[in-house]
Amino acid sequence: MTATHPPGAHPAKYAWASGLMVFAAVMLTLAGLLDIFRGIMAIAEDDVFVTTSDYVFEFDLTGWGWIHLVLGVVAVVISLGLFQGALWARVAGVAIAGLIIIANFLSLPYYPVWSVVMIAMSGFIIWALCVARKPE
C-alpha cells in the first residue's frame, strides 16, 4: 500500500481504510500462523489437547489438525494479497476468517480457551475487511 492518496480522496479517510487493511492483513497472518501451529500440534501430539465425552460434534483430533493446518496455510496466502490491497484477497479473507470461526467453534472441546480467542480474532478480521473501503 502506498502512503499517498488518490486525487480527490480525503486523506484521513484513506489513512483509516489503509490502516484497517493492514490491521486485517497482520491479524490474518497471525491467525493463519497460529492455526498452522495448532494443526501441527494436533497431528503430531494428540495428548496435547483435552477431549471431552458426549460432545455433539465429535471428530478425530488428527483430522481436525489437518483442517486447521490447511486453513492456516490458506489464511497466510490470502494475507499476502491483503498487503497488496487486492479486492480478491478481501473477499477471500472474509471467507477464510468465517471458516476459521466455524472450525474453532467445532473444535471447542479439544482446546476451549484458544478456540474462543481465535473466534474473536477472526471476528475482528471480518470486521476490518468489511469496514475498510477503497477511496473513491
The residues, any chain, with a CB within 8 Å of residue 102's CB and separated by 6 or more, are none
Question: Could you tell me the pTM of the whole model?
Answer: 0.77
Cα separation, 63 vs 113, whole angstroms: 20
Checking if the pLDDT of 135 tops 90, the result is: no
Average of per-residue pLDDT across 94-105: 93
User: How far apart (Å, rounded) are the C-alpha atoms in residues 87 and 105?
Assistant: 27
Say which amino acid occupies 43: I
Q: What is the pLDDT of residues 47-93, one digit of tens each?
A: 666 666 666 556 677 788 898 899 999 999 999 999 988 899 999 99
Picking from 84, 86, 92, the residue whose alpha carbon sits closest to that of residue 126 is: 92
Q: How confident is the model at residue 13 (pLDDT cuts 50, 70, 90)?
A: low
Helix (H) or strand (E) holding 120: helix 112-131
